[in-house]
Structure 1
Amino acid sequence: MFSNYDDIVTIEDLMEILDIGRNKAYELLQSGQISSFKIGKGYRIPKVCIEEYVLAKVQKI
């Protein structure tokens, strides 16, 4: 699933990976649930942080 993406992804990639909308994607980043950093005006998200988020959600179930 994640192998199709670079090690650092954009907000659009995050939306596609998690099948979520733009508002939810920004909410996850701004709340710190998924770690990221900004370059200019755009967020960059390490793919490993998305994987950690998904694994954390699975373990709570």
Structure 2
Amino acid sequence: MYKNYNDYPDILNVSDIQQLLGIGRKQAYELVHSGEFNVTRIGTRIKVSKRILLKWIEGGN
């Protein structure tokens, strides 16, 4: 388990987002499907840039 934001990889998966935000699996999937920020799909995998997610958290677009 990561201790702070800097410990997380630059490219996050849904379980990383779950841990980082302290939310459940269902909420994490709802968030990545919400269109609030750009996600990349590689096959069935969903990847999110840590930089993009943190910017979204801080209220940036």
Q: What is the TM-score with the length of structure 2 in the denominator?
A: 0.82
Task: Kindly report the root-mean-square deviation, in angstroms, between the aligned alpha carbons of the 2 structures.
Answer: 1.5
Equivalent-residue separation in structure 2 for 1:56 and 1:50 (angstroms): 10
What is aligned with 1:13?
16
Unaligned 5+ segments in structure 2 are none
What is aligned with 1:25?
28
Unaligned 5+ segments in structure 1 are none
Post-superposition offset of 1:22 = 1.0
Aligned residues: 57
C-alpha distance after superposition, 1:20-50 (max 9, x if no partner): 1111111111111132111111101100111
Equivalent-residue separation in structure 2 for 1:47 and 1:33 (angstroms): 14
> Stretches of 4+ moved more than 6 A in 1?
none
Q: What is the TM-score with the length of structure 1 in the denominator?
A: 0.82
